[in-house]
Amino acid sequence: MGQGTTVPVVIASDHAGFEMKEYVKKYLTEKGIPFFDAGAEKLDPHDGYPQFAFKLAELVASGKHSRGILMCGTGIGASIAANRVKKVRAALCDSPDMARMSRLHNDSNVLVLGGRTTTQNVAAEIMDSWFATEFEGGRHQGRIDEMDNHC
């Protein structure tokens, strides 16, 4: 996925990840990557991460969007919530190497960023790595199938 892709990436955040989401929108626009913003629409402290994590995860799980980027304050709550949706493999990444491995071995389809714990420069490096890395498949595919078919 990268420049010229036609399937929009879905993005979402709660209030604590809102500023990072606004940065992610700028990043995606500059890279020519189309996106759909699933909220929050404004900085409102009453907007909690579960509602936005579930909305984004359901859009990815349904196949409407192949990938998503999700943010909350630390990324922990959003990643826990998103991973409750079957066929979602949300990875909280705080380095480009973690993002690369989440794609290479785990075929992560949701990248989670901590809006209060990750700088914009590091977030850009993480996204660069995540978008540039394809799933390796092979021995890892069986593990993905096991997770996707559990429950």
User: How many residues are listed for the chain in this entry?
Assistant: 151
pLDDT for res 6: 58
Domain span at 107: 9-149
**Within a domain: 3:** no
**Within a domain: 22:** yes
**Within a domain: 75:** yes
pLDDT tens-digit map of 77-97: 999 999 999 999 999 999 999
**Within a domain: 18:** yes
Domain count, the chain: 1
pLDDT tens-digit map of 27-82: 999 999 999 999 998 777 777 899 999 999 999 999 999 999 999 999 999 999 99
Does residue 113 contact residue 121 with C-beta atoms inside 8 Å?
no
**Within a domain: 1:** no
Please name which of 95, 106, 112 lies closest in space to residue 142, comparing C-alpha atoms. 106
**Within a domain: 13:** yes
Does residue 53 contact residue 82 with C-beta atoms inside 8 Å?
yes
CATH number at residue 52: 3.40.1400.10
**Within a domain: 39:** yes
Catalytic residues: 72, 105
> CA-CA distance, 81 to 37, in Å (whole number)?
18
Does residue 27 contact residue 69 with C-beta atoms inside 8 Å?
no
**Within a domain: 4:** no
